Structure 1
Amino acid sequence: MSTTTFDTAVTQARDLLRWHSPLRTELWAARLTADLEPDQVRPFLGRLTQDGSPEARLTLAALAAVNQPAEAAITTPAEPDSQPAIATPTEPGGRPADTTPAEPGGRPADTTPAEPGGRPAGGTTADGRLAEAGGTAPVGGGEVDAGVRPYTVAGSGMAATLAGWVRRMGRVRCEGAWYGKADPYGEQTLAVLSFRYENGKEPHILVVGIDQPNGGLAVDALVEEVKFLDDLGLRAADPGVVGGRILDAFELGDQIMGAMVADTLPAVRALAIARAYAVPGLVRGAADDTAARFDDLPDLPGAREAFEKLTEFVGDRPLWWSPGRVSQFFTSWLPREAILTDEAIAAMPAVVRAWSRFSGDHPAVRRQIDEDAPRLPALMADDSLPSLAKRIAQNRL
């Protein structure tokens, strides 16, 4: 780890201590997380712990705030299944009380246990015990390995040694969620969550772009003011479902080596994941209900059968409906995979046109249907096109 990285972080933290903004500090910590290479993390955290200055402690607290939710999701056999909650004292009206002891004049006192010379001794755990940087910190009766959860261990207890606003980092409530297309053809979708801190301040939205052609991985993210939502034209959705989709999208991206994402994604990633985990009632792997809302099925023989094959094709990405996908459906997927009655084959163009109207009625999509639909009967009759699975199924009929 370079001295420049440490010095820059401390200088920036000094400015943040003057701003008193949890959101600004969390965004900074997410960028800092992205800038650190894996082999730099523990040396960097260790140096911050040894330094012990208010700036270093703010850095540790902020890094823990944006990384702890993801680290908490890592399960280890030695750890208990659940951890007891730590109660937060509250003022009248329910707002968390600022319990930081104060020095004369009202400035929060530094309550970190100190080594000779006044430097904080290692990190402090939630129950006040000390943890050496790079060691283990007791949590809920178990132990968290600093090699698995370095940010959680290094930042444990640091927020309590600083001003009250620092402890609000990560303490947000979700106020709404939206989901829908990012572009006319739905090749990307947008998952949006709205938050504000527990004291009602700094409302903001998290917007995550989710790629559809490549399976639904997160490709971009940003944090914006709530008014940014006005121009997106998205449908309100269940926050637990949207939060789950965001986590699913990041998890999928982690499984794909060399996934193409926007240059801006890494700097927001840690905060985006932390915010998604902050949503109560998360639903992972939720089905998309778009097809269930379709109510314009043509009154034709075979239309229901045709629509069932269409929904099988669009699967869990029904918002993605482009000219290219239309062509793939008519000229490749149906001949290769689908077994249809003559009535369903005849009804399919009308069903696809109805679905296309429901999906935005874009002229380019209509033109693609007009080009490919007339070829469908001949393609379905071509014995050279079926897949092995379709051939086996046909032989069983």
Structure 2
Amino acid sequence: MATPQTPYDAVLHAARDVPKLDTALDAEMLGAALLGSVYAVAETDRETAVREFVAGFLAATTRRRAAAATTVRAVFAALVPQAAGADRVRPGAAAPAWSGHLGRVHLTGCWSYGDVYGDQTSYLATFAYDDAAGGPEHAMVTLLDHNIGIAKDVFVGGPPARILEQVRQMCAGDELTWFREEDPARMRGEVTRHLAITDNLGELPAEGSLATDRALMGARLAVLPGGATAATAPDSEPLSAAERTDLVRRFLAAPEAARFGLDSVDGAELASLHFCISLLLDHAATFPDADPLRWSPTVTGFFLLDWVHRRAVLDMDDAAMLPRVLRAWAAYAARRRGLPERAAAQTDSSIEEMVPEFARLYSTGERRSPATAAVAQLMADGVDPDDPAALDAWIEANRHRLTDDSA
């Protein structure tokens, strides 16, 4: 057998048996898997890469008359109708009976579920072909990760009734999860917004079927209604200075602050207290939703074991104060958001468990960024950062070391 000469020939070879498939759904899933390889290897703007590949494929195979070629063309045109030339694709003379049903589906239900902390949300939509001859009903489940702002995984399969029942039972048995019927327009907007970030990642999530199902997910999203709630929403704005001040004042007057002894802090500790609170707010502002009250075991781990070491220089008073402030703030945030007591307790326990590792990372400085490490050394050498002359002298004296460290 001859080796395929072009990527398009390779696709035709891989899809040579597509006319033998039983349903349009089988063909769409195979087509999406083939396009998934293009999506996975693209370095940036993967959606555009797939669209351009399909356009190139359609142009290169215009004169192909074999059943496999004409059928794959129809499948790709249904999956990526925005590709140039897709609107001119017609079924071949030997097209399978199901080819006229490609992409012709309608929504039959829409739900969402997730954890009460707000770390992740999953959207579940079910679809049926307009004509049952197109294939069975099927479900699309999309997992959104709000901590990194991406669509982390997608799954297309069935039977949808079984998937829906499994999700219902899972959420009903766990007070730390929620489940509800969802507005399809909201699903379309939220998934589209997160996909726009995912499509430009330098590296895709390692597990799951995101790449192989991405094209089919895009085709199914296009079936959902649009409208105002489906529009791409901008990320939330961080708090203004006045809003931060008001939130800090409310926190320090709250029972959670008193429980951890923060209401009686004075003297030298007072500066550390306010510095630690400012770090919590700065960290929250780095998330897509910028919600200062969204704290979970996962978010506290990001903060305490990674972000704060890379972004802040702590003295010993700050390091001693920070876990206590974080525990109080997380408890305050949980009450403000109405989370179950068990959710608040899990976050508090996770912080306690992380304190030894936080202390170790603080003492070793192994996760400091180069800039943070330089500032820490400057302070250790007793240099006042607000004294320009002293700062210039320190930089000149340490220029060789700073240059070596950055090499």
- Of 22, 34, 37, which residue of structure 1 is paired with 2:36? 34
Return the structure number with greater helix share: 2
Structure 1 equivalent of residue 14 of structure 2: 8
**Secondary structure at 1:51 match in 2:** coil
Asked if 1:277 corresponds to 2:209, the answer is no
**2:212 maps to 1:267:** yes
Matched, 1:189 2:162: no
The residue type paired with residue 316 of structure 1 is D
Contact 2:189 2:231 in 1 (8 A): yes
2:80 and 2:298 mapped to 1: Cα distance? 39
Contact 2:12 2:69 in 1 (8 A): no
Match of 1:256 among 201, 212, 216: 201
- C-alpha distance in 1 between matches for 2:327 and 2:113: 31
For residues 149 and 341 of structure 2, the distance between their equivalents in structure 1, rounded to whole angstroms, comes to: 18
Provide the secondary structure at the position in 2 that maps to 1:32. helix
Distance change in 2, residues 1:281/1:203 (3 Å): same
Match of 2:86, as an amino acid?
T
Structure-2 change in CA distance of 1:242 and 1:49 (3 Å): same
Match of 2:272 in 1: none
C-alpha distance in structure 2 between counterparts of 1:372 and 1:8, whole Å: 50
- TM norm structure 1: 0.54
Q: Is residue 111–residue 181 contact of structure 2 (8 Å, CA) maintained in 1?
A: yes
Q: State the partner residue of 1:367.
A: 349
Q: Does 1:220 align with 2:226?
A: no
Q: String of CA shifts for 1:81-108, please: whole Å, max 9, x gaps.
A: xxxxxxxxxxxxxxxxxxxxxxxxxxxx
Per-residue CA shift, 1:16-74, capped at 9, x if unaligned?
A: 2xx1x121111111112223576865664345332212332111111000111xx2xxx
Aligned residues: 273
Structure 1 contact 188–320 (Cα < 8 Å) conserved: no
- Give the TM-score of the pair, scaled to structure 2: 0.53
Q: Match of 2:151, as an amino acid?
A: A
* 5+ long unaligned stretches in structure 2: 1-5, 42-48, 172-178, 236-249, 258-280, 313-325, 356-374, 376-407
Change beyond 3 A, Cα 1:152–1:263: same
CA distance in 2, matches of 1:40, 1:258: 20
Equivalent residue for 2:73?
Answer: 60
Distance 2:304 2:54 in 1: 51
Change in CA separation of 1:300 and 1:67 when aligned onto 2, cut-off 3 Å: closer
- How much has 1:353 moved relative to structure 2? 3.9
Q: Indicate the SS of the match to 1:50.
A: coil
**Aligned partner (choices 89, 112, 123) of residue 156 of structure 1:** 89
Does the Cα contact within 8 Å between 1:159 and 1:167 map onto a contact in 2? no
Compute the displacement of 1:9 (Å).
1.6
Task: Look up the SS of the partner of 1:255 in the other structure.
Answer: coil
Equivalent residue number for residue 109 of structure 2: 176
- Matched residue, 2:332: 351
Deviation at 1:365, TM superposition (A): 0.7
- Tell me the secondary structure at the aligned position of residue 199 of structure 2: helix
Name structure 1 gaps, 5 residues minimum. 72-148, 289-298, 337-344, 374-383, 385-397
